[in-house]
Each structure stands twice: as C-alpha cells, then as structure tokens.
C-alpha cells in the first residue's frame, strides 16, 4: 500500500477539506472531545468521579443519584381536587401574577409572556384595559413571581392568577403536592400571550363551569391516579408533551360516569364532555406536568445528587435545578425550537423556548421518549422511526436509569430514560431533548409552530461548576 | 481452497444433518420452491400470468385487481343507525339464527358455536331451556344460516338473532351497506359460547338501553365516519382486531355530547358512558368489521379479479371469497391460533380459529398491520419491534397495494397492505396473518387466550384452482 495517501480524520471536519477537494480517500470519525474540550470542566468531572467516596470507596454522588432515582420511580401522583388558586396557595396575594420559568422582572419579559400577564390582570379585574394593566405592572402595584415559587407548573407563558382553578396533585408515596392550571385548549390562548375577550371568556368558563364539576367528580372518585394513565398513553402514541390525545381520553373515561352527576345541567355536561373529549386533545398535558413535578420534587434536596430536578423557560432564560442545590436557579439564554411552523410563519416569528412544561422531560417522557411516538417525531421534523429510536437511545446515555412503569413499546418495552445526570450531559455533550410549542415573539398573536429544542449547554456547565464548588467546600 | 469441503444448502434443512454433525462448515439458504413445489399450481400461476391479456397485451387480472383495489381504498364507511336485526334484514325469519364463517349444519358445529346458538335461541324466547333449544335445532324447527348470507359480520361464534340490535354501516362511496351486532364486552360472552343468565341479561341491556340511545345519538349526528377513526387509531396503538382501545374511545367522543340528550335517564347515561369508555375496550371491533365488509363488498363480483374479498371461520372450516367468484365459498379446515393462553389454559383447550372478524385483515388492518402495534405483537407472542415490522413487510408481498389513509407510523407512514392477491399467496407461500381470540373448545367456558393464526394454505390453492377453471372456460 506504499505510496497511496489515505487519511483518517477524528473530530474537526474542517481538516478534511483538502482531502475532500483533492480526491484522497478518507475515513471521517465523528468524535467530540469530552466536556466540550474545556480543561476546567474535564478537571471537575475527574474530581467528581474520583473523589467524593464513602469509607468503602463507593461514590457518594452515584449513591445519591440512585436515591433520587428511586424516589422519582416510586412517585404515585394522584389528582385529587380542582380548586381556586387562592384556596390552594395561602400566600397568593391579590396583586401577584405567576409566570413560567426562572425569575424575571416585568421589564425584561418577552412579548408573549407580557401578553399573558396582562391577560391575567384583566382576568382578575385589577384593571379595566391593557393600558391600565401595564401601568400596574410598571409601577410595581402588581408583581410577578415564578410558578415554581408556589409549587405550580404551567405551560408556555404560564400566567396564573389567584382566581384561576388549579389541580391539586399529590404524590401518594412521599406526600408532596404540586399544582397546575386547567389546560385552556387549542387555538388562541393565554399561554401563547393572547388576552382577547374570547380567550378570557373561555378561562371564565373553566373557572365557573368546568372546574366545579371536575372537582365534584374527582372528590366523588377519591382522585384519579395519573401514572397508570401515562403508562397507557405511552402505548397509545402519546409522549405527553406535544401529544396527549390518548391520555386526555383516558383521563376523561376515569370520570366520565361521575361527571353525569357532577355537572349542574345537561347543557353544562354537554359542554364539559365536548371540551374533554373533542376540543382539547392537550388537556392532559397540565396533569402530566403536575404529576412529573411531584415526582421530581421528591428528589429535591438530596445532598451530593447531580440529578436534574427541574428545567423550565421564561421565554428569555432557561432555568435548571439540581437535586443537591435545591431552589437555586441556574440560567442561560433560552434557545429557539426547530421544527414545524404553521402556514405563513417561520423561525423569524418565533419566541425563544418558553414554559414550565419541560418538567415532563425531567421525568422521562416528552422528547426523552420520542421513540414512543413516530407521529410526533414526524411532526416536529425529527425524522423516521429509526431516527426517533436513535434519539431515545441517546437519552439513555445521560440518564442514570429507566422507569419500568413508563415502558416504551418501540424500545421493546424498555422503560423511559429516568434521572438526567448533569455530569453525563456535560461529559458527553448530549443535551436532553424537549418537544415544545412555539409562540410568536409578539404578544397577541399566539402559537406559530412546534418543534424540538434543547437546554443551552451553558446552563449545564454552570450547574456542574456550582455543584462542584459546593461539594468541595 | 482445495481439499476443504464446504457446503451450501438451499431449501430442505434435512440435508444439513451430516454437515451439522460432522463439523463441516455450511451456509443454509432458507428457500422454498414457488407454489409449494406443486406442478399443477405452478402451471396455473404461469397460465394466469402469461395469459388473460387484453388487445394491448395488458393483464386482465392485474387490471381487475387494480379496479378492486381502487374500490376498497375509496370506501367511506359511515355508521348511521342501530336497529333490531328484523328491521334491517326483511327476510330474517323468527326461526333463523345466524352464525359466523362459511355454511355449516348444526350437527357439525364446534362446541362454542353450539353454545352461542343455544344462547341466541334462549335470548329470543324460542325455548324455555337449553335442552328445549337443542331439540328445536336438532329437529330443524330452528335453522342456522351464515351471517354473510344476510350482510352481517360478527366476531367468534357470531350468533345473531332477529331481536338483536345491529349497526347499519353504509359505504358512502358505493352505497352498499353491512351490519354487525354491538360488541358485548369482556369476560364471559355469547360470542365465546357462553349463554348463562348474566350473559343474556347484558345482551338485553344492549338491546333495550344502549341500542336505542346510540341510535338516537347516531341519527342526530347524521352518522359517524369510521375510516377517520381507524386512521387515528392506527397512530394510537390499535390494529383493530385484538386491540381497539383508542378506536373505541374515539368513537365514543364522536357521540359523547349527543348521548347526553339521547339517554332516557341519568342512570342510563352513566351505564352507557361506563360501557363505552371503561368496560368495553373492544367495542369498536364490530364497527371495524362492518366498515371493512362494506369496503370489501365493493370489490365483489369483479370478473378476473384474484383479490380475496372475504375470510372467515366457523370454528371447523375456514372460508374464503374471491372477487371474481362472488358468493362461492372455498373452505378447508380451520387452524389453531398460536399465542398467549390465560392462566390455567393451553393449546389443548383451544377451539380452531373462529369468527367473521378476519374481514379486518382482508381490509389491511389486524394482523396485516402488526407493525403498528408492538404491544399486540408482544401479547400474541409475535416478538419485538423488528419482528413485528418484518411481519408487515412480508404482508406487502401478497398485496397489490397500500392504503395511504391507513398509514402505519412505525412503517414511516406507509399505508397498510391492501388487496390480498390469492396468486401471490400461492406463489410465495406467505399466508395472511390474522390476530384472533381463542375460544375453549367446549361450550360454556369462554375465551382462553389470543394469538396469531393464518388461513390453511389449502383454501388458497382451492380458490386459485377454481378461479383458473372458471377463467379458462
């Protein structure tokens, strides 16, 4: 073989151009250095792997992560009630509006989140019009707080005010609770930053007609267990972020007979049944989110654990919690989803990724379980069956376990990837996959698409560095 | 390489034993001769391929099959009413009981079919007890006819009598209609040969409470289109033979609000809603069967077409219709399903395959679409994702087309295999796959399992021979 030049390229594709241009045969190995080639992160990962051992030499971090994983897998979320937010959250003052994601001031919010907050102020009757509402927010008479600070999760802008009904979801295993509002349905919606009169009228119908009936039906049934529904829905083409068709129908059937007694009139019943079965195929999303939050909260506050217990976005920043670092937010600018845009819209119209909904990915469904749902993979531009299988296999690299009760039929019933370890994310460069709706960057327009997005890598690096600093203290 | 004996074996595995035993390296090619190596069938296939051409040399058979395929794909089945059989079928005399499969006399019926027929006689009040019913059947005072002779399809034993409510399903494209009874639900059931009082009481509830309410709701809605439901259900883990969870919920939601007005009382409504959403996950099977029958009937009576337009079983014989041979039954002994048995039961308890339900496989769903449902493949012992994909790819070899409106997500949204060509079945030896429930071979016991089964090859050979005789005349 002497005389014939042949090349093997490992990593940087740029080195290949002379071979590509010159016709020299080459093999290109798609390799990336660990931890983005960052010497400080490599040192931290080495230190976290070699150090932090107990008297028997076992890793304190691995043990803590296994504890977290056990708590996540053991969670049994049950939705028990639907009550006004002010009854569930005692310190929910009249002048407070909650929002999705990590903390952000009114002045710094993106368009659709502002639109949603203004809508919530109008919904509460705190101002007669948008201009009045804006004055209250600007002056600080009305203040914004995170959903997370009150145990709430809500999709997209996530605007929640004290009159809105919230689900009470209890993790029967650990006893902790979480809340989420009722999903509004499709079309123009507050969560995408639209506050027109029909949007607010539908929210009032949720408050006055649907919520009391649902609450009576839930109370009569003693609650509805959510994990069995999630488990069934994974067999039925839902990943429970972008698609909740089966889960919503399965939830409805749990209460279908009970709603006959719980509704105040036949007309109410018809409206409720239509909303739950036909008009709102994403109804279950908010229940999946609250369920996931009760599971992830069970793993909060475990010393030495590098598990990610929350991911959310306020449309400007992406926020992250680690199990060991409790309520401390790590943030970095939120990315733009890539996927499908509605006719007439493009990425130029998109707001950066937004919402508390990525809590379902922390739990192992949504984008983490993409192989369960080739129809969603198809929709968000993630390709065919084999590609969607590849995505979930990749997610296994960054998780410490699998949830056998969330079995994915297309993975031959292997469980969904569970327990994202920030060490693995930083080491491999593989980021959790999130399936997300896309809001227009201006208030008042609404949803313009849906797609796949990841956290920014920087938020992972920040969290790992902070964990390390805390651990070595 | 001289001196080293190496072997290639093509076909019969028996020839390999000396090499296997002796340690000689070999390659084993899994090959079967075409048409089971039968010279007469090979001659017929050659004749059907080379002959029967129009003036331009195009195959009359291929053209006829394309006509049949177009009619099958174009069918738009809509369920319009639920009415007593006697109102839908004018010549349904009082002393007639219908049964599944090709024609068979009372004396020759299997245990579960006898049990079901006796139950239907009691249901109609024609005899005070089973002994009395048996006398009527033995004497010929009560006679048995096939469901197919009256445009009906019904699962398993398929016993249908004149008071039972039947669906009226209309193919809007061609105008033809078909009927099926309401699916009874799980547990002990008439279709598995059980006629105990609770079984008959449930059938009376279907007749007196469910059917009138469903009929009113259907009439108010102007009917419910069934193909869009089937299309959705294929995205949701149903293959519509062994699994109809999503399709049943999707059907219910089409009528959910209408049923509020259609039910006579709140108690009736609660019972109806519970039955449709919770108690009967196979509810849609009978609608899928009637829908499939309207599509397949649209392809009946096309001269020169070798498409299979019906497959059914009476628990003794398997029956087959070809498009070109109209109402003529080709039969051969029915096979035993292989799959999963309920605890305490085994293949020794099984009755041979039974029911009109294989009409859904003629249409391209059920076992033909096994790759849509790894959970069913898992259940019936058909293995993992890759194996279930392989089954559907194999089914494409024996079909003349695919139905783009029955897209299978796991096949990257390729359509379900449509239009089974008996020539291809005989030539390749690949038999259509049917997913079936398994009845105990004795009356009164019920379902003992579920599994995969095929038609007997002989019924395919008989039909091909008869087609050829008719064609050369």
| Count of positions (residues) in chain B | 473
Smallest Cβ–Cβ distance between B273 and the set A235, A256, A411 belongs to A256
Phi, psi (deg, nearest 5) at residue B310: -155, 140
B315 shares its domain with B393: yes
pLDDT tens by residue, B373-387: 887 877 777 678 888
Nearest to B245 among A236, A261, A266 (CB): A236
B52-97, pLDDT tens digit by residue?
A: 999 999 999 999 999 999 999 999 999 999 999 999 998 899 999 9
**By the 8 A CB rule, do A34 and A461 touch?**
no
Domain range enclosing A452? 62-70+295-472
Optimal mutation site among A385, A387, A388, A414, interface B, most CBs of chain B within 10 A? A385
Domain boundary among B290, B321, B347: B290
- How far is the CA of A149 from the CAs of A100, A101, A179, A326, in angstroms? 10, 10, 11, 12
Choose the closest CB to A266 out of B260, B271, B411: B260
Strand (E) or helix (H) holding B323: none
Three-class SS state of A290: helix
Backbone phi, psi, residue A436, to 5°: -140, 150
CATH number of domain containing A325? 3.90.1700.10
E strands, B303-420, where? Answer: 308-314, 317-322, 330-333, 338-341, 354-355, 399-408, 414-420
Query: Three-state DSSP class for A449?
Result: strand
Show Cβ contacts of residue B197 under 8 Å, excluding neighbours closer than 6 positions.
none
CB contacts of A268 in chain B (<8 Å) are none
More confident residue, A377 or A350: A350
Measured between alpha carbons, how far is residue B421 from residues A290, B44, B229, B361, B425 in Å? 52, 14, 26, 13, 7
In a domain, A190, yes or no: no
Q: Kindly calculate the radius of gyration of chain B based on its CA atoms and give it in whole angstroms.
A: 23
For A165-178, what is each residue's pLDDT tens digit? 999 999 999 999 99
Q: Is the pLDDT of residue B172 over 70?
A: yes
* Whether residue B229 sits in one domain with residue B326: no
CA B457 to each of CA A78, B44, B47, B129, B332: distance values in angstroms, whole numbers, following the listed order: 52, 16, 20, 41, 8
DSSP output for A223-280: -EESHHHHHHHHTTT--SSS--HHHHHHHHHHHHHHHHHHSSSHHHHHHHHHIIIII-
Supply the pLDDT for residue A1. 44
Nearest chain A residue to B280 by CA distance is A253
Residues of A contacting chain B (CB within 8 angstroms): 232, 235-237, 245-246, 249-250, 252-254, 256-257, 260-261, 266, 269-271, 273-274, 277-278, 373-375, 378, 384-385, 409-413
Which band of pLDDT confidence, cut at 50, 70 and 90, is reported for residue B1? very low
Do the domain assignments include residue A400?
yes
Query: With contact defined as beta carbons under 8 Å apart, do A402 and A418 qualify?
Result: yes
How confident is the model over A403-428, as pLDDT tens digits? 999 999 999 999 999 999 999 999 99
CB–CB contact B257 A249 (8 Å): no
- Does B106 score more than 70 pLDDT? yes
Residues B250, B101 share a domain:
yes
- At A24, the pLDDT band (50, 70, 90 cuts) reads confident
On the question of pLDDT at B29 being above 80, the answer is no
Same domain, B238 and B367: no
Q: Provide the 10 A C-beta neighbour count for residue A54.
A: 9
Residues B449, B399, single domain; the answer is: yes
The reply to whether B262 and B305 lie within a common domain is no
* Residue B364 in domain: yes
Classify residue B326: in a domain, yes or no.
yes
CB B418 within 8 A of CB B403: yes
B239 and B319, same domain (yes or no): no
Number of domains in chain A: 1
- CB count within 10 Å of CB B266 equals 15
Q: How confident is the model at residue B473 (pLDDT cuts 50, 70, 90)?
A: confident
- What is the model's pLDDT at position B105? 96
CATH at B282 = 3.90.1710.10
- What is the rounded (10 degree) CA torsion for A133, A139, A142, A146? 110
**A274 domain-assigned:** no
Is B53 inside a domain boundary? no
List pLDDT tens digits, range A227-283. Answer: 999 999 999 999 999 999 999 999 999 999 999 999 999 999 999 999 999 999 999
Q: Which of B155, B74, B169, B153 is nearest to B406 (CA)?
A: B74
Residue B10 has pLDDT above 80, yes or no: no
Please report residues of A whose CB lies closer than 8 A to that of B393: none
How does pLDDT run across A279-313, given as a tens digit for each residue?
A: 999 999 999 999 999 999 999 999 999 999 999 99
Please give, rounded to a whole number of angstroms, the shortest distance from the CA of B207 to a CA of chain A.
20
Chain B interface, Cβ < 8 Å to A: 232, 235-237, 245-246, 249-250, 252-254, 256-257, 260-261, 266, 269-271, 273-274, 277-278, 373-375, 378, 384-385, 409-413
For residue B14, tell me if it sits in a domain: no
Claim to verify: residue B310 and residue B248 sit in the same structural domain: no
Residue A53 within any structural domain of the chain: no
Check whether A383 has a pLDDT greater than 80: no
Are A278 and B237 inside 8 Å of each other by CB?
no
Q: What is the pLDDT of residues B422-431, one digit of tens each?
A: 999 999 999 9
Instruction: Write down the pLDDT at residue B375.
Output: 78
Residues in Cβ contact with A256 at an 8 Å cutoff, skipping those fewer than 6 apart: A273, B256, B273, B274, B277, B278
Q: Which of B259, B274, B290 is the endpoint of a domain?
A: B290
Cβ–Cβ gap B252/A277 under 8 Å: yes
**pLDDT of res. B17:** 72
Residues B252 and B171 in one domain: yes
Contact A378 B409 (CB under 8 A): yes
Contacts of A256 in chain B (CB under 8 A): 256, 273-274, 277-278
The confidence score (pLDDT) of residue B218 equals 98
pTM for this predicted structure: 0.93
Determine the pLDDT at residue A247.
Answer: 98
Question: A119 falls in which pLDDT band (50, 70, 90)?
Answer: very high
Q: Are strands B26-29 and A7-10 parallel, antiparallel or unpaired?
A: unpaired
Nearest to B374 among A246, A249, A409 (CB): A409
Judgement on whether residues B273 and B365 belong to the same structural domain of the protein: no
- Angstrom distance (rounded) from CA B434 to CA B425: 14
pLDDT at A2 over 90: no
Query: B313 and B371 share a domain?
Result: yes
What local confidence, expressed as pLDDT, does residue B19 receive? 67
Q: Which of B234, B237, B372, B407 to mutate to test the interface with A (most CBs of A within 10 A)?
A: B237
Q: How many CB atoms within 10 Å of residue B463?
A: 26
Cβ pair B256:A266 closer than 8 A: no
- According to DSSP, residue A323 is labeled G
**Given B246, B262, B290, which residue is the final one in a domain?**
B290
Place of tokens 């940087």: A12
The kind and range of the H/E element at A69 are helix A60-74
Please report which confidence band the pLDDT of residue B2 belongs to, taking 50, 70 and 90 as the band edges.
Answer: low
Say if residue B86 is in the same domain as residue B168: yes
What mean pLDDT value characterizes chain A? 94
């Amino acid at each position: 073989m002497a005389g014939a030049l042949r090349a093997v390229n490992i990593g940087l594709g740029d080195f290949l151009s002379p071979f590509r241009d010159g016709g020299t045969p080459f093999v290109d190995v798609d390799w990336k250095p660990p931890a983005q080639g960052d010497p400080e992160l490599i040192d931290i990962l080495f230190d976290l792997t070699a150090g932090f051992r107990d008297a028997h030499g076992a890793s304190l971090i691995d043990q803590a992560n296994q504890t977290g994983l056990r708590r996540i897998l053991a969670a049994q979320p049950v939705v028990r009630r639907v009550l006004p937010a002010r009854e569930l959250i005692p310190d929910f003052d009249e002048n407070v509006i909650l929002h999705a994601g990590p903390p952000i001031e009114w002045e710094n919010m993106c368009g659709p989140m502002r639109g949603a907050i203004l809508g919530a102020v109008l919904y509460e009757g705190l101002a007669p019009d948008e201009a009045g509402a804006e004055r209250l927010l600007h002056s600080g008479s009305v203040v914004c707080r995170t959903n997370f600070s009150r145990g709430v999760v809500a999709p997209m802008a996530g605007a929640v005010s004290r009159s809105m009904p919230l689900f009470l979801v209890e993790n029967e295993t650990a006893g902790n609770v979480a809340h989420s509002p009722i999903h509004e349905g499709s079309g123009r919606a507050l969560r995408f930053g639209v506050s027109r009169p029909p949007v607010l009228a539908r929210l009032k119908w949720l408050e006055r007609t649907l919520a009391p009936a649902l609450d009576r039906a839930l109370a009569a049934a003693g609650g509805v267990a959510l994990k069995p529904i999630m488990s069934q829905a994974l067999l039925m083409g839902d990943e429970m972020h972008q698609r909740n068709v089966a889960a919503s129908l399965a939830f409805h059937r749990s209460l279908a007979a009970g709603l006959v007694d719980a509704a105040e009139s036949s007309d109410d019943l018809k409206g409720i049944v239509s909303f739950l079965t036909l008009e709102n195929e994403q109804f279950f999303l908010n229940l999946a989110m609250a369920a996931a939050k009760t599971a992830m909260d069970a793993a909060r506050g475990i010393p030495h654990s590098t598990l990610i217990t929350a991911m959310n976005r306020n449309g400007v920043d992406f926020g992250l919690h680690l199990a060991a670092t409790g309520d401390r937010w790590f943030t970095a600018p939120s990315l733009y989803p890539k996927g499908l845009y509605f006719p007439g819209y493009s990425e130029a119209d998109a707001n950066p990724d937004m919402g508390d909904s990525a809590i379902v990915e922390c739990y192992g469904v949504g984008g983490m379980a993409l192989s369960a749902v080739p129809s969603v993979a198809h929709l968000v531009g993630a390709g065919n069956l084999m590609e969607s299988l590849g995505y979930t296999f990749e997610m296994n690299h960054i998780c410490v376990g699998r949830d056998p009760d969330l079995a994915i039929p297309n993975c031959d019933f292997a469980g969904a990837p569970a327990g994202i370890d920030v060490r693995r994310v930083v080491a491999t460069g593989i980021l959790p996959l999130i399936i997300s709706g896309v809001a227009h960057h201006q208030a008042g327009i609404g949803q313009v698409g849906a797609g796949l997005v990841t956290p920014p890598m920087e938020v992972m690096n920040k969290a790992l560095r902070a964990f390390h600093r805390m651990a070595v203290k």
